[in-house]
Structure 1
Amino acid sequence: MRSIGEMARDSGLGVSALRFYDRAGVLVPARVDPVSGYRWYGPGQLDEARLLARLRRAGMPLADVRLVLAAWSGQDTGLVRGLLDSHLGRLEQGLSDARGEFSALRALLDHRENSMTSLHTATVRLSVAAPELAAALDAVRFAASADPELPMLGGVLFDIEPGGLHVVATDRYRLAVAGVGVTGHDGDPVRVVVPAPLTDAMRALLDDEAPVRLSVDGDRVTLEAGDRQVAGQCLDHEFPEYRRLLPLPGGRRTPIDVAAFRKALETGPVRSAEADGQELSVLRPADDGTVIVCADGDESPDRVAVNRRFLLDALTAGARDRLVLELDTPTTPIAIRRPDEEDTFSILMPVRLED
């Protein structure tokens, strides 16, 4: 007999996935302890679990998976082959449909790009306090993408508006925004994406209390601090409209002690995402108004799973002893906010625990 933990390790299915498949009647343990509720699996169930993992990775619907497992145990190879062929046909048709849609989208993009004037024609000069800009870059830099296939996310957006600057970074799974007050610009909004290496070089200049000068001239950005300066080319890519990615107001806002919460994350239970193996922490609001890291076996419907490293990075970037954690539903992004700065925050995408 295998314990649920051993079954998870040997089959490639996570513990939470095994619990889900038990409840769904797809892979039912050979024995469940009547006192503790602990699940035990028989020797023959390992092959079924491995087959189940392969079918789910291939995207087969759960109803068909159930039929395949039943036919597999009954050695009905004809039915198994028929179900596999049917699913493969749906995948191939879906891929063909997707190619058609993407072809149409590319044509629309080509038309849109040809009709747009250059976005890199603005000239902007403004002043900003060095400590404020440094703090803003520290608050968002962790969320910039390092994926070479997404060059438009490989930097920090400088979103310049009259009287204010927002710096923004995202890698799709997390997004960070920080606001900074500026002087000297009261014209039209200007947006440029500063490459990550250039952003880091700018940050290195911000070691004084005096104001610094930021200028954008076409596709070139320059930061001057006294007699020192750093300059370079902006990324020639559009940054996503980040305001559309922000969650609507709502959810439970819970003040957290960062040191205590960090310790709970670092020492608490860790789960592995079934799809990519990332380490997850599972959170839920407690009745006393706090947020707790769920123990194994906690099946609360309010649970929200998040990449643990991303959450620890966001706590560090928050740079406060106390922050506000905003939780809503298991599929709603998690927000980490500074209690004293509403325009500086980070957002993490939740991770599904179960199919």
Structure 2
Amino acid sequence: MRRADRRSGLTLDLVEGAECLLVDGGGRLLGIGEMARASGLSISALRFYDGAGVLAPASVDPGTGYRRYAERQLPAARLLAGLRRIGMPLAEITRVLELRGSDPSAVSRLLDAHLRRLEEGLADARREAARLRVLCTAAEPSAEPSTEPEGRLTVPGRELAAAVDAVRFAAGADPGLPMLGGVHFEIDRDVLRLVATDRYRMAVSEVAGDPDHRCEGGAASGHSRVTVPVSFVDAARALLTGGWPATLTLGSAAVGLRVRDRRVTGTPMQHDFPDYHRLLRTATGGPDRRRVTVDVAGLRERLTAAETRTVVRADDGARCAVSVLAVDATNRLTVSPADAPAAPTDPVVRVGVNREFLLDALDAVGPGQLVLELDGPIRPLAVRRLDDDRAFSILMPVRV
């Protein structure tokens, strides 16, 4: 007996009393369980795709509702299973199945577009993971007094002033992340290190101690660290105008800076600063990073003149103006708005940055030349002084 199935468009030869049904042309019909095993799709997935009109069975028993599939539907089912594994949306899966035999280039474009979405999603996930690391490594205020020993170091006043200027702009202002609302001071033997971050950027600077003044107090290793509020940092910076040596004292209960007969004191913040060493290892390094030397004034002029695109940050809804920095194979740097298409000759590196943050970083570097380190659209951008690698800042990229 021959019957045309309206849903599948196939003509069936039904053999009464037989376990196996034959489709017109001699092909065998597969039960839904057999089809599931052969295609890699589960039975529930086959039922779903039938209901969605993506892969209809060749035959449905009117009494039991049992589905049977033609053997020649197997390639489409296996393709569907693969598209499902890479997370392609249902509408695009349907288009791929419709076009697979007639327009391979259109199928290729659909796959490329889906891969770009996956890459952008991974970039978003990396940025969110970086933010979560900050939250996870920053503890709640401790109920117990800190046992961090006191440290003292004398440094050249002008160098300390430059170090403060190099990091102050990156301190956070989000009341929900109070551990980022200050500057981290760390005495490591005879080196003072300053770090500030608001999770979208980080700035680091170092000052070598006066060789005539060794670190006093502190642990045997000469190590002491505290995070101080920006109010103390700003008051201390006001003392660093005459170039006199400055003596910094870091303790768990109080911090102080003395310049000649003038002194400013403050209270450390009772929040643990995030593990910036780990963040630095994540954000910098790599043999494939491009290093471009540029003139600060020239880059500032190009950033100011170029149009930008306004982007709304997904995590906090803040709006920012985004510029794109692109570097070609000859190490030539160009600046364009975020929605500008890539040049005919694809750049080696192309990364979107918050223009305001980059201008702040240029202010911190000062006049002259700097080195930009770029490593693709999802890795942070590093801004370094050309003649002094002890001070640098890191900017998180913005998806473009």
Quickly name the TM-score band, shorter chain normalised: 0.5 to 0.7
Counterpart pick for 1:335 among 382, 385, 394? 382
| Cα distance in structure 1, aligned partners of 2:91 and 2:172 | 36
Contact kept? 1:256, 1:290, Cα under 8 Å: no
Aligned-pair distance for 1:184?
2.1
Quote the offset at 1:191 in angstroms. 0.9
Q: Does 1:227 align with 2:261?
A: yes
Structure 1 regions of 5+ residues with no counterpart?
Answer: 1-60, 68-101
Residue 215 in structure 1 maps to residue 249 in structure 2: yes
Per-residue deviation, 1:62? 7.5
Q: Distance in 2 between matches of 1:168 and 1:314?
A: 14
Return the offset for 1:256: 0.4
Could you tell me whether the CA contact under 8 Å between 2:166 and 2:364 is conserved in 1?
A: yes
Partner of 1:262: 300
Using a 3 Å threshold, how does the CA distance of structure 1 residues 151 and 113 change in structure 2: closer, same or farther? closer
Report which of the two has the higher share of helix: 1
**1:139-168, Cα deviation, whole Å (9 max, x unpaired):** 000000011111111110001110101100
Q: Is the aligned partner of 1:150 residue 2:173? A: no
Residues 148, 224 of structure 2: 8 Å contact kept: no
* Gaps in structure 2 of 5+ consecutive residues: 1-86, 94-131
CA contact (8 A) 1:269 1:293 kept: no
Task: Give matches, 1:13-162, under 5 Å.
Answer: 63=89, 118-162=145-189
Larger Rg: 2
Maintained 8 Å contact 1:328/1:334: yes
Deviation at 1:289, TM superposition (A): 1.5
CA distance, structure 2, for counterparts of residue 313 and residue 64 of structure 1: 45
Alignment of 1:304-323 (within 5 A): 304-323=351-370
Matches within 5 A, 1:235-254: 235-246=269-280, 247-250=283-286, 251-254=289-292
Separation (CA, whole Å) in 1 of partners of 2:293 and 2:370: 6
Q: In the alignment, residue 225 of structure 1 is paired with which amino acid?
A: V
Query: Separation in 2 of the partners of 1:196 and 1:233?
Result: 11
Which has the higher relative contact order, 1 or 2, with Cα contacts under 8 A spaced 6 or more apart? 1
For the residue of structure 2 that corresponds to 1:263, the secondary structure is: helix
Question: Structure 2 vs 1, CA of residues 65 and 264 (structure 1 numbering), >3 Å: closer, same or farther?
Answer: farther
CA–CA separation in structure 2 for the residues paired with 1:201 and 1:274: 34
Would the alpha carbon gap of residues 243 and 320 (structure 1) be closer, same or farther in structure 2, given more than 3 Å must change?
farther
Q: Where does residue 297 of structure 1 map in the other structure?
A: 341
After superposition, the Cα gap between the structure-2 partners of 1:149 and 1:292, relative to the gap in structure 1 and judged at 3 Å, is: same
CA–CA distance in structure 1, aligned partners of residues 394 and 215 of structure 2: 29
The yes-or-no answer on 1:279 pairing with 2:321 is yes
Please state whether the residue corresponding to 1:149 is helix, strand or coil.
coil
Amino acid in the other structure paired with 1:320: P
Counterpart of 2:179, as a letter, is: M
Matched, 1:184 2:210: no
Q: In the aligned structure 2, how far is the partner of 1:177 from the partner of 1:253?
A: 19
Deviations 1:280-316 (A, max 9, x none): 0011102331211135222647320010000000011
CA distance in 2 between partners of 1:143 and 1:64 (Å)? 44
Instruction: Indicate the RMSD between aligned Cα atoms, in angstroms.
Output: 2.6
Q: Compared with structure 1, are the counterparts of its residues 163 and 146 closer, same or farther at alpha carbon in structure 2 (3 Å cutoff)?
A: same
1:125, 1:304 → 2: CA distance? 41
TM-score, structure 2 length as denominator? 0.59
Equivalent-residue separation in structure 2 for 1:65 and 1:145 (angstroms): 43
Contact 1:155 / 1:196 at 8 angstroms: preserved in 2?
A: yes
Q: Secondary structure at the match of 2:214?
A: coil
Q: Deviations over 1:24-52 (max 9, x none)?
A: xxxxxxxxxxxxxxxxxxxxxxxxxxxxx
Alignment partner, residue 24 of structure 1: none
Identity, % of aligned positions: 44
TM-score, length-scaled by structure 1:
0.66
Residue 271 of structure 1, CA deviation? 1.2
Aligned pair count reads 252
Does the CA contact (< 8 Å) of 2:323 and 2:355 recur in 1? yes
